[in-house]
Amino acid sequence: MRYRKGSISIGTGQDIPVLRQVLRSQYVTHDQLFEFMRLGCYELNRHTFNWRLRRLVKSGFLELNPAGHNCVYSIASAGASLLAVTEEYCPVLKKKGQWEASCYDHSLELNELHLSLIRQGVLEEWKSEVAIRSKNELTPDGYVKDYDAVVTVRLLGRTASFALEYERTPKRPKDYLRIRSLLEREDRLHRFLYIVPNNDLASFILECFTGTTAALFIGFVTDFGRSFTEMQVIQASSGVTKPILSAL
C-alpha cells in the first residue's frame, strides 16, 4: 500500500502483523510484541524489530506509552484506519478515555496468558476481544457478551473452544448475576473459563455462579502459565475440582 510523499509504505509481511497484534492486544509491551512476532515467525531480528517500531510510531500508526522500564504500545487512529480496510473485520474502537485506566494492566497480563499458550504449543486460535466486539456490533450472529477472548486449543489430538475471561479484580455481585444470565443463554459456545490470580477471588466468583447451568470453570493464573494441559479447574455449578482435559 502506497502513501503520499513524505509518508511511509506499509508492508503486508511485517508491518501489518505488528499493527494487527497491537490492535488486538489493545496495550502490549515492547518485549511482548517482539515475542508475538518471533513466535509467529514474522520478525526474528531484534534490531530490525526495534527499527520497525520506531518507524511506525514516528509515522503515527502506533502510540507509545512509557511504562516503567518498558515501552507500551497502543494502536493510533491511522493504524486502526489502515487495518479497517485491509483486515477481515472492521475494528470497533472505543474512545480511550472510556477504557484506558481499567484496560491497561488487564491487557498486559492477558497478553501473558496468550503467549503462554503459544509457547506451550497448544494454541490453535485466539480470537481477541476486539474481534469479538466487532462481530457482536456489526453482525447478527455474535456472542452474548464481549469476552476477553474466544480460545481454541488442541488437547490430545482434539480441539476444544471456550470463552476466556481474565478476572484480575472482582466485579459487583449484581454484575456477575447479569453475566451469569447471559452465559446461560449463550448458544455459540459451550465452555467458559475464568482465570483468576488468587483463592479469595475464585471463592467470590464461585459463590456468584453456584448452581449455574453454564459450563463455567475457574482456574489460576500460575497454573495456566505453568502447564495448561495439567491445570486443575473448579466447576462453578458444583464446586468440584477436575482436570482441564475433562472440563473441556
* Residue 181 to residue 124: CA distance in whole angstroms: 29
> Which residues have a Cβ under 8 Å from the Cβ of 217 and sit 6 or more positions away?
191, 192, 193, 194, 233, 234, 235, 236, 244, 247
Phi-psi sector, 41: left (phi>0), alpha (psi -120 to 50), beta: left
* Closest C-alpha among 30, 15, 143 to residue 87: 15
Q: Which residues on neighbouring strands pair with residue 154, listed in sequence order?
A: 159
| 151/126 Cα distance (integer angstroms) | 5
Q: What is the pLDDT along the chain (248 residues), one digit of tens a residue?
A: 444 433 567 777 889 999 999 999 999 999 999 999 999 999 999 999 999 999 999 999 999 986 655 789 999 988 988 888 877 566 555 545 544 656 888 999 999 999 999 999 999 999 999 999 988 988 888 999 999 999 999 998 899 999 999 999 999 999 999 999 999 999 999 999 999 999 999 999 999 999 999 999 999 999 999 999 999 999 999 999 999 999 99
Domain residue limits, the chain? 1-87, 122-248
CA distance 159 to 153: 6
pTM value is 0.90
* Topology classification of domain 1-87: Arc Repressor Mutant, subunit A (1.10.10)
Using CA atoms, how far apart are residues 96 and 99, in angstroms rounded to an integer?
Answer: 6
| Dist CA 41 CA 201 (whole Å) | 37
Edge to edge, the sheet with strand 70-75 lists 28-29, 70-75, 62-67
d(CA 99, CA 162) in angstroms, rounded, equals 24
Q: Are 180 and 141 in contact (CB under 8 A)?
A: no
Torsion sign (Cα): 184, 186, 190, 195: negative
Interacting residues of 187 by C-beta distance below 8 A, sequence separation 6+: none
- List pLDDT tens digits, range 203-246: 999 999 999 999 999 999 999 999 999 999 999 999 999 999 99
